[in-house]
Amino acid sequence: MSFFNSQLFKDVQSQHIFSDCKTFADATARVDWQSACIQYEQIAPLNKTQLRDFVDAHFITTPLLTMKGAANTTSVKGYINSLWSGLRREADIPKANSLLALKHSYIVPGGRFQEIYYWDSYFTALGLIDADKSDVVEDMLQNFIDLINDYGCIPNGNRSYYLSRSQPPILALMVDLLWQHTHSKTHNLAWLKLCVEALRKEHAFWMQGADTLSDAQTSVKRVVTMPCGGVLNRYWDDEAAPRAESLREDLALASGFSDDKKPEFYRNIRAACESGWDFSSRWLADSNLLSSIQTTDIVPIDLNCLLYNLENQLSECFKLLGNEQQSQTYSNYAVKRKSLINQYLWSNEKRFFVDYNHKLSKPSAILSAAASTALFVNLASQQQAELVANVLSEQFLKAGGIVTTVVDTPQQWDSPNGWAPLQWFAVKGLCNYGIEQLATRIMKNWLTMVEQDFIENKCLLEKYNVCTPQQKASGGEYQVQQGFGWTNGVTSRFYMLTKD
């Protein structure tokens, strides 16, 4: 039995011993969790006070990561530069907790997030490169290679409760970032070979089960057969149970479902976490009801664009390594995926890239900033890029930058919130097609908002209300977190791009 299935864990979470379920999921046992669980079963049940005393006697909990006293608050630039040391973690020493010990240093996002997060790390790396800290980026990349070698995927984060899912595949972006910055100068093909093997394993993870698809089974794990017979991808989770880090919330939402429907609900919640967009109207049948979540029904534009980029990069890397056959194989994968994206994920009506509901065989009605990933990975035609730019300018560009979706809901990945990764996808994507004026407006709007907010809060935040920057961002399962890795990285890069 795992710690997360134990009666102790369930009782601590259900009795609200901690306001955030993640606190106990991340706790370290003073001896080991097995003996704590056995002792608890001998004396349970306990009232809330007794249970809290038991937890304090057997576990150590880590307070939220704060930067007070260590950060430079004289300016945004000064704050970012001073924060890297506060967010840095050295190689882990294995302990009796949920942390998957990493052998190299890494950057954590901040606040309640005190482990490495997969897709956060690419955006964080932009700022680390700008701060001449490419050695930390090298370490984080090596940690990801170790994780994929050990577990077959790069998990959501380095916690055991994240092992059933990954996150948007950005390993190829980190490899390219380092190759362009460092390794191409030294022509380090040994390093490239190591990276390519990890990229190949990541592609295999996302395509697992593709060879078993049939007329009777049109979807399995993360692959989906489209109406024409081609294969695209979706987000998934290998478990269909409440999340350990959000047990209380999941059980409460699932209480409205019959027992036979609960596993499907849990899987869809978890799959949305794999997307990084937890949660958004992109995944909901009813934009205002999280209980209507249907993530596994959706073929997302951003995931498939990132996989297109992965396939192209594998093709280019194998060519550099002299393996023409493998290079052609992955090039063919990319060509097929691009065709399918244009067939199913481009809307002539909306003049925009959209998600696709494979269960209903129709495009999603939700417009999201994820569309810009098609520009970011150079998949769009020039005409498509200009049409996307028009929609971004007319519907998404707000006082503080690009809004996440044009739908206002209680979820944090919807309007009125904006997130640093989506600003970067949009800016870099627009620049790829020479649409510089709009890219500059996005960057300046974002920087102005961040600087104005910094005057009051003296920190950078996980997300912002880009529609009304004077108001704090809200929505989601937890309070807005300060730190914050990817905000630091993208903001730093915007300063570099607008310094002239």
Per residue in 140-182, pLDDT tens?
999 999 999 999 999 999 999 999 999 999 999 999 999 988 8
pLDDT of residue 475: 78
- When the pLDDT of each residue in the chain is averaged and rounded to a whole number, the result is 95
Question: ∠ CA 280-282-284 to the nearest 5 degrees?
Answer: 80
Are 436 and 430 in contact by the 8 Å Cβ rule? The answer is yes
> How large a percentage of the chain has pLDDT more than 90?
91
Active site residues: 278, 462
For residue 111, list its beta bridge partners.
Answer: 65
The band of 500, judged by pLDDT with boundaries at 50, 70 and 90, is low
Q: Which two tokens stand for residue 89?
A: 């973690």
CA distance 306 to 373: 7
pLDDT of residue 220: 98
Is the model's pLDDT at 477 over the cut of 80? no
Does the reported pTM lie above 0.95?
yes
Is the model's pLDDT at 185 over the cut of 80? no
pLDDT of residue 187: 61
CA distance 201 to 189: 18
The closest of 48, 3, 50, 45 to 24, measured between CA atoms, is 3
Q: Cα–Cα distances in Å, from 232 out to 172, 272, 310?
A: 18, 17, 14
Q: Where are the beta strands (DSSP E) in 193-277?
A: 219-220, 223-225, 231-233
The band of 28, judged by pLDDT with boundaries at 50, 70 and 90, is very high
- Please state the φ and ψ torsions of residue 346, each to the nearest 5 degrees: -110, 130
The band of 482, judged by pLDDT with boundaries at 50, 70 and 90, is confident
